[in-house]
Amino acid sequence: MHRRMNRMKGTGIVLSFAAAILLAALYPLESNASAGAFGSAPTVVDKVEGFRLERLVRALSGADSIFSGADKTRIATRHSLATGMDVVRRYLIDEARSAGYTPSIGRFILNISVPDLTGTALSSAGDTVWVADTQGKIYRTTAAGGWSAFVRCGSVGHDIYDLERDPRGRLWASCRITGSAYGALFVSADGGATWSIRASGTDIFTLGTVAFSSEQLGMAAGSNGTVVRTADYGETWTALDPATFGYEAFNGVAASGPMRFWLVTDSGYLYETPDFGATWSRRSLMFGALRGIDFHGDSAGVAVGSGKAFYTKDAGATWTAVSVSTEFTAVCMNDSLRVVAAGTGGEIWTSEDGGITWGRFGTECSVARDVWSVTSAGEGAYWLAGRDLARRISWGSVLKDCSAVQFADTVWGENIAFRREGENEPDRRVLLTAHYDSKSGSPYDCAPGADDNASGVAAVLECARVLRGERLDRSVEFVLFDGEELGLLGSRFYAAALEAGIVYDGVLNLDMIGWSPNGEAMSAVIAKRAGATPDTTLANAIQTAIESFALPLETSFLLPGEPGSSDHIAFWDVGIPAVLLIEGKAGSRTPYYHTCSDQANTLNYAYLEVCAKTALGAIAILAGLIPDRPPGFALLQNYPNPFNAGTMLSYSLNAPASVEIAVYDVSGRRVALIERSSRGQGEYRRVWDGSDEGGRRLASGVYFLRLRAGEAEAVRKIVILR
């Protein structure tokens, strides 16, 4: 037995559901259920229901949709740093609540990154601005919020070099595929929340700039002479011959008419096409790099580079050079006269005559940060982004306003914990744990993690559901860890701050317990420390459960030096007994490990059910299952809730009684009479399909379920979602 002195706690949130047909197939319409004592029959593990395990895995791995609030969605990834993890956490929290628990949340820092901001885009009204960074993340702020802070709203998972908004309001990110020389274009039609790829391939190298001349026509360019164009609203993109451009590296693209596009290069060349890329002309503007170009209308344009700015007033027929003592990196025209150009060291230069003369504003906002992107919000307002700063400047007759927002993107992880209290020794605890984050080669896009580790999470939740209705000598704490794939961050945070005065008898950690080749005997591996007697006690409980409940599972041990990289190690490090139950040794586990193919249809659910029963049996032994007492009067929360096609109603009586179960709307009007009968002492379940007394489906909304049994009464709130 081990005591630890501290543990931080927090608080915490959605729920999926099965159809009434499935529920009715698994339960008789009316049943009287009772449980026997542990040891007399395998009744405890028989309460594990395979369909619940499969439902949880399918929801967590994106095979089935879930409800997040009133919105229907799918979980594409559970990578800890992905923006959709809040949906995952709400789902898990609501699953725990539906089983009768009140989860607590332990928040900890997963990652603090200082971004290098590279692109900016604005809404047509100028009231929303997006910025992107080289790590593929997109942030957003609004005028309604006072431009006070940027919130991360999405990610493409690759290195972003430019962010633009097209005339249809969609966002475009030009990128380098992380870890390669190739490029891609991504588009978002929902304000940066979700992204889909539109252009990529071995003939497309890093794309650093993109522009649209109309809703239909657009062009992007980048390294190694890469120029791609679209004539169908961005649906398809074709690459031009890079030899046309001498395999130059392009830094900027601009449009000055429906068919006329301009490109500037690292070698100081300016390329022009009047016919959407059918023909090109080239001129040399300078010795050195041209970094940016912009046009307002057909005639006025400005290009900038190393110590030079160039302007045209005649649609590009002539370009006039102006020396400016800075290394320009970006330029933007608010109208035909007002221009802002920015560069290294945070220097900002402005022109009020279309680029003929320039004035140095200085180190903008008194912060010397390189600027990589400038965009106009209209009415003399500009947004600039670079390094870890987004800056906003505006002027009327003179420059008059400047503000800056500094970025430090802190990503928080959340452990989800809930507990079944013991009756006789509540301050002694056994932990049943699993990690809910996942990983793949493209973690921000697809990390379904059905086996690793939706399988372990499903088993923990199902064991918690079963044990909610059981009596225990000692407490069982169920913990779902975040950040395991980032280095056991969640479990290390938890293990380093355990609750004072609590005896931690041990930890059973479940990781990857869903894949077993068909036709082979079911087997699993236990990881424990060599020579650690408390670990051996935990391992023996697993074996005892297998034997006591006649479970078809063979176990073996990992060799010393093969600890299995999972959350049990965090408890070893602080002296707490812990073991891992896993499907096999390294090399004999799922072939879909850490890939986008670790999906729900690859699992063996009969094997997962056996592993879950094994874990439940071991926990029942370690926590001291108490023989059942006669049931008390209770109306349990219906499950699922909210529901659509059907829901399970469960109640118990401590004595024979006349029973009435009815549903009322929020005005107190009875809308459904589900049952009116005489019942004996016991536990009962039945399915209700959400129909009123006339057999009509009730509308979506909040209702109240009331149980009357003699003089006793209980009420539960229920929610229908159609």
What is the C-alpha separation between 113 and 370, in angstroms, rounded?
18
pLDDT higher than 60, residue 654: yes
What is the C-alpha separation between 237 and 470, in angstroms, rounded?
61
Are residues 615 and 710 both part of a single domain?
A: no
- Any domain includes 704: yes
- Any domain includes 309: no
Out of 626, 648, 664, a domain closes at 626
- Any domain includes 260: no
Over residues 93-114, mean pLDDT: 90
Count of all residues that appear for the chain in the document = 722
pLDDT higher than 50, residue 23: no
Q: How confident is the model at residue 576 (pLDDT cuts 50, 70, 90)?
A: very high
Are residues 564 and 650 both part of a single domain?
A: no
Residue listed under structure tokens 């290098």: 116
pLDDT higher than 50, residue 17: no
Out of 599, 626, 653, a domain closes at 626
Residue 92's nearest CA partner among 62, 124, 60 is: 60
Out of 582, 609, 626, a domain closes at 626
Count of C-beta atoms within a 10 Å radius of residue 233: 16
The proportion of the chain whose per-residue pLDDT surpasses 90, expressed as a percent, equals: 64
Domain of 442: which CATH number? 3.40.630.10
Are residues 621 and 657 both part of a single domain?
A: no
pLDDT higher than 60, residue 148: yes
Are residues 595 and 648 both part of a single domain?
A: no
pTM above 0.85, yes or no: no
- Any domain includes 618: yes
Are residues 53 and 94 both part of a single domain?
A: yes
Cβ 106 vs Cβ 9: under 8 Å: yes
For residue 350, what are its two tokens?
Answer: 């402005």
668 exposed, middle or buried (CB, 10 Å; 0-12, 13-18, 19+)?
exposed
- Any domain includes 206: no
Instruction: Please state the domain count of the chain.
Output: 2
Are residues 511 and 576 both part of a single domain?
A: yes
Are residues 518 and 620 both part of a single domain?
A: yes
Are residues 619 and 656 both part of a single domain?
A: no
Domain of 661: which CATH number? 2.60.40.4070
Are residues 52 and 103 both part of a single domain?
A: yes
Are residues 611 and 710 both part of a single domain?
A: no
For 333-360, how does the pLDDT look when each residue is reduced to its tens digit (9 = 90+)? 989 999 999 988 888 888 999 999 998 8
Domain containing 612 equals 2-111+415-626
Are residues 658 and 609 both part of a single domain?
A: no
3-state secondary structure of 400: strand
Q: How confident is the model at residue 12 (pLDDT cuts 50, 70, 90)?
A: very low
Cβ 366 vs Cβ 374: under 8 Å: no
Are residues 612 and 660 both part of a single domain?
A: no
- Any domain includes 552: yes
- The conformational region for residue 449 under phi > 0 = left, psi -120 to 50 = alpha, else beta, is left
What's the helix, strand, coil split of the chain in %, to 5?
Answer: 15, 45, 40
Comparison of pLDDT for 650 and 631, the residue scoring more: 650
Q: How confident is the model at residue 548 (pLDDT cuts 50, 70, 90)?
A: confident
- Any domain includes 96: yes
- Any domain includes 451: yes
pLDDT higher than 80, residue 410: no
